[in-house]
A = this chain, B = another copy of it.
């Protein structure tokens, strides 16, 4: 397939069923897809250094326009060369619009046609995020990929509420496109529709009618049952223009990612690997490990016997449990590094499996091993 030109170019090199392997080319370099983006909310991926992300193969990080608008502010970041340079990351940056955080974090807010009004979670200062200001903000932050301002429909929402929400998102989407002035920064639209098939179809029709550079499925992983998430993600993926990047926002576990790659998604972000790590949770090839469990107190084995990351090369489970129980920063560092390494390797292996047309078997095998391991872990005490 040809390289589709746009502020970010996208090329699908090989497919295997609905799964796609390719690359996104941005002003800050090339990202092999499918790709996972570590979440760097405040221009830092928690507990990590940017050169470590790069060394693990990460070429794009997600940052949060809302948080960076509040502190240190877009002028400062712009003055210092944009987010990537500000944070010392050699790769590309995708920013979310700030809408999700405005709704989930701000103490007071209202949403209407004009935009989202809320108060800073830091100092209570009033802030209004409009489609126009969300784009201006992301442009000045220097994002390689910007996200349209949407209303991330809360769960549960009844059909009428969900429809009103997606219609607002569609009107804002047009305004976002109109507001974009930068020729080098891509803009992605977001499909909403809650857990309703007809509304997902409606939203996809509205958003894909607009000339975005890529398309995201939003409003999932917000509390709905896992089966509904998978079903809506699959439906939405089938409705996105094949030649553009498909981004499933806020998802998920390793098993979720493999399932979504099988649906045709190219991009992911999620706080799970970083947040769980800080709470002592590790993703391994044999399922999740909660390092605080007493069963690991004298365990000389690495976190994941099949892993060659720095954490698994240097530390025993007993030591990781000790530093976690002691509140050492190293615990957050080591588990985060392991989890991100695990997610990064999953993406590389998925790319290779697609290239060799063995993705379905690969995904089934990895998923089965993880689930068998989790069953075994559930069977032990402590």
Shortest beta-carbon distance from A147 to chain B in Å: 22
The answer to whether B310 touches A49, judged by C-beta atoms less than 8 angstroms apart, is yes
The answer to whether B330 touches A298, judged by C-beta atoms less than 8 angstroms apart, is no
The answer to whether B322 touches A51, judged by C-beta atoms less than 8 angstroms apart, is no
Within 8 A of B (CB), among A72-102: 72, 76, 79-80, 86-88
Q: A316: CB under 8 A from chain B? A: yes
Q: Which of A12-20, A39-47, A169-177, A210-218 interfaces with chain B?
A: A39-47
The answer to whether A314 touches B88, judged by C-beta atoms less than 8 angstroms apart, is yes
The answer to whether A329 touches B329, judged by C-beta atoms less than 8 angstroms apart, is yes
The answer to whether B76 touches A318, judged by C-beta atoms less than 8 angstroms apart, is yes
Q: How far is the CA of A48 from the CA of B86 in the complex (A)?
A: 23
> Which of A51, A328, A334 has the most chain B CB within a 10 Å cutoff?
A328
Residue from the list B49, B71, B330, B334 in contact with A330, Cβ < 8 A: B49
Q: A333: CB under 8 A from chain B? A: yes
Shortest beta-carbon distance from A315 to chain B in Å: 5
Q: A290: CB under 8 A from chain B? A: no
The answer to whether B49 touches A319, judged by C-beta atoms less than 8 angstroms apart, is no
Q: Write the residues of chain A forming the contact surface with B, with a CB cutoff of 8 angstroms.
A: 42-44, 46-51, 71-72, 76, 79-80, 86-88, 297-298, 300, 310, 314-316, 318-319, 322-323, 325-326, 328-330, 332-334
With contacts A72-B297, A333-B333 taken as known, whether A328 is within 8 angstroms of B46 at the C-beta atoms is yes
Report chain B residues within 8 Å CB of A42: 322-323, 326, 328
The answer to whether A329 touches B46, judged by C-beta atoms less than 8 angstroms apart, is yes
Shortest beta-carbon distance from A72 to chain B in Å: 5
The answer to whether A329 touches B318, judged by C-beta atoms less than 8 angstroms apart, is no
Report chain B residues within 8 Å CB of A79: 298
Q: How far is the CA of A332 from the CA of B47 in the complex (A)?
A: 9
Report chain B residues within 8 Å CB of A319: 43, 80, 86-88
The answer to whether A330 touches B47, judged by C-beta atoms less than 8 angstroms apart, is yes
Report chain B residues within 8 Å CB of A315: 88
Given A42-B328, A86-B318, 12 new contacts (CB under 8 A): A42-B326, A43-B322, A46-B328, A46-B330, A49-B333, A71-B322, A71-B325, A71-B326, A76-B298, A80-B300, A86-B316, A329-B332
